[in-house]
Chains A and B, each alone.
Chain A
Amino acid sequence: MIRTFVLLLSGMWAMAWAQASTNFERRLAVDPHGTVEITNVSGKIDVRGWDRSEVEVRGDVGSGVQRVDVTTDHGRTDVRVIAPNHAGGGIDTDLHIRVPHDSQLEISTVTAEVEIAEVEGAQMLRSVSGTIKSEIYEKNAEIKTVSGDVVVRGHRKDTSMHITTISGNIRIDRAAGDLDATTVSGDMTVRLDPSRNVRVRTTSGDLGFEGRLAKGASLNAETVSGDLTVRAIPEAGIVYEVGTFSGDIKDCMGVEAERVSRYAPGKRLTGSQGAAGPDESQVRLKTMSGDVELCDKS
């Protein structure tokens, strides 16, 4: 009896789901080096690059959605999920989009999860609470979220990344080049190989950096209360300056941190390794109450 009831309920749910979302499919010829702009409030945005000069959009469209517009004009392709204002629900739309490899991407969402792979153009991605996972190549990436996590995977090619989130975590793997990243309460883990100009900051989250420092590179990492763990291997010499007000400093260079003053708290560690000159990398680490660990060896 109970089994029948459960089966009946499952069947009703499946029918309701089938009615709630409708399939959508559209394909357009586009500029292979153009810009693709995608707007979807909630659901999922999955973008993959391919060899064709076409944009293909497939989707499960929520019942509350009015329509999905796909247009292209003068190298700019627009994929927009249109939901009426104050739509009560049913606007979750999963989009699976194929774009030319060299496309630039501009994506805006509120809660949708964003996943990007094999797209080599510049990326400008914005989300409120959705997680953003992206694969990047040589072109710039600008990523902003409020509470969503950011996961970036690179190809060890020089690029420039600008990533900000309020409470989300940031994780960057196998990227290279310049990075400016901040999060307030999220944790940040960065692996760059090699890095050039890096500015990373958290307020309360822990911050970890690992990777090679190119010749003349600079690494500035800062937290208020989060711990800092930095393993930075310089291609040439390295000059480092570490400061903490009430935390501890550890290093693998065999240098002892010293007290800033006899009368006030605070420790600092300064020094250099290797040949001095313009190829020297500079590492500056600062925190108020976090502990710091610095190592210049792998």
Chain B
Amino acid sequence: MSGERQRISSLRDLPRDIAPPRDLWQGIEARIAAEPRGVAAKGGAEWARRAQGNRWRILAAAAVVAALAFGIWIGRTVLPVPGKPVTTATGLSASNAGAGAPEALHAALVMDPKYAQERAALLRSLEAKIAALPPDSRAKVMASLQTIQDSIHDLEAALGRDPSNALLQELLVNTYQDEMRVLTAVHEAGNAEGI
């Protein structure tokens, strides 16, 4: 027993090669040979999925930009805002836009060019018509028009906080109609002065 066993006193005493008890390489080689196709296919699908995701993101971004551009275009084309706004001593402007009002909202509400034209025409003659009213009526009408402007401003501010609120949207549209009704009434009353 002691003859079979050599005393090992340093690393040099160990054998340089030891054969493994069983050869694993064959199995590993077979798996490596089979793997490249699977991995490549898996990576390709991942890449395709990412590419499709990016395409949707790009399309969505393009849609957002297009929608914004369209909204701005409508706002600038339909509303007589940007060029020379028709302003009056009453503080009303043909732009229909309160300070800080969301432009897209205006575009949606005041899209009808006929409405915009009629409103601008009524505003142009507003000062003359108001001047033709009796003094006490004049002050009250001015105050009422200011009330409407304040209401529009308040509604738009509220819509700024809650843009999808149907109640506010309806009230805003009705307040615009009220403004139109007042402008028309002032116009008629101004004409009635000469009855």
Q: A182-B178, A203-B148, A224-B151 are in contact. Are A147 and B170 (CB under 8 A)?
A: no
User: A120 at interface (Cβ–Cβ under 8 A)?
Assistant: no
Quick one: which of B136, B144, B192 contacts A184, CB cutoff 8 A? B144
Q: Are B143 and A164 in touch, CB under 8 angstroms? A: no
In the complex the two chains form, is B192's CB within 8 Å of A110's CB? yes
Report which of B133, B168, B195 forms a contact with A146, defined as CB distance below 8 A: B133
* Cβ contact within 8 Å between A224 and B171: yes
The reply to whether A264 and B134 form a contact with Cβ atoms under 8 Å apart is no
Residues of A within 8 A of B93 (CB): none
Question: Is there a chain A Cβ closer than 8 Å to B189's Cβ?
Answer: yes
**Contact flag A265-B195 (CB < 8 Å), given A146-B133, A224-B175, A288-B168:** no
Q: How far is the CB of B82 from chain A (nearest CB, A)?
A: 28
Q: A166 contacts the other chain (Cβ, under 8 Å)?
A: yes
The answer to whether A167 touches B143, judged by C-beta atoms less than 8 angstroms apart, is: yes
Give, as a whole number of angstroms, the nearest-CB distance from B125 to chain A.
Answer: 15
B residues near A49, Cβ cutoff 8 Å:
none
Q: Which residues in chain A, 94-115, are within 8 Å of chain B measured between CB atoms?
A: 108-111
Q: Is the interface of B mostly helix, strand, loop or mixed?
A: helix
* B110 proximity list for chain A (CB < 8 A): none
Q: Mark A248-287, 1 if CB is under 8 A from B, else 0.
A: 0000000000001100111000000000000000000011
Cβ A184 vs Cβ B147 within 8 A: yes
Q: Given the complex, which residues of B lie within 8 Å of A243, measured CB to CB?
A: 167
In the docked arrangement, what's the CA distance between A285 and B189, Å? 31
Are B185's CB and A144's CB within 8 A? yes
- Please tell me if A63 contacts chain B, counting CB pairs below 8 Å: no
Contact between A146 and B137 (Cβ–Cβ < 8 Å)?
yes
Segment of B40-48, B58-66, B114-122, B155-163 engaged in the interface with chain A: B155-163
Distance, CA A166 to CA B148, complexed state (A): 10
Pair A166/B161 contact, Cβ less than 8 Å: no
Interface residue? B174 (CB, 8 A) = yes
Tell yes or no: A41 within 8 A of B by CB.
yes
Indicate whether B193 reaches chain A with its CB closer than 8 angstroms: yes
Cβ-based interface call for B107 (8 A): no
Q: Which residues of A contact B137 (CB under 8 A)?
A: 128-129, 146-147
Any chain B CB within 8 A of the CB of A85? yes
* Closest chain B residue to A202, Cβ basis: B178
Q: Does B52 reach chain A (CB closer than 8 Å)? A: no
Kindly list chain A residues whose C-beta atoms are within 8 Å of the C-beta of B193.
110, 128
Instruction: Considering the complex, give the chain B residue whose CB is closest to the CB of A204.
Output: B147
Are B170 and A224 in touch, CB under 8 angstroms? no
Chain B residues with CB below 8 A from A164, complex form: 181, 185
> Cβ of A128: which chain B residues have Cβ within 8 Å of it?
133-134, 137, 189, 192-193
* A147 and B167 within 8 A (CB): no
Q: Are A265 and B162 touching (Cβ within 8 A)? A: yes
A72 located at the interface, meaning its Cβ lies under 8 Å from any Cβ of chain B in the complex: no
A53 interfacial contact with B, CB 8 Å: no
B143 to chain A, nearest CB (A): 6
Q: Once bound together, how far apart are the Cα atoms of A201 and B162, in whole Å?
A: 23
Q: Given that A129-B133, A164-B181, A185-B147 are known contacts, is A147 also in contact with B171, CB under 8 Å in the complex?
A: no
How far does the alpha carbon of A289 sit from the alpha carbon of B181 in the complex, in Å?
A: 22
A23 within 8 A of B: no
B154→A225 contact, CB < 8 A: yes
* B-side contacts of A129, CB under 8 Å: 133-134, 136-137, 140
17 A-B residue contacts at CB 8 Å?
A: A108-B192, A129-B133, A146-B137, A146-B185, A146-B186, A166-B144, A166-B185, A167-B141, A201-B178, A222-B171, A224-B155, A224-B175, A225-B151, A265-B162, A287-B171, A288-B154, A288-B171
Top 10 closest pairs, chain A to chain B, by CB: A167-B140, A147-B140, A129-B137, A147-B137, A224-B151, A264-B162, A184-B144, A167-B144, A243-B167, A128-B189
A contact set with B: CB distance below 8 Å: 39, 41, 85, 108-111, 126, 128-129, 144, 146-147, 164, 166-167, 182, 184-185, 201, 203-204, 222, 224-225, 243-246, 260-261, 264-266, 286-289
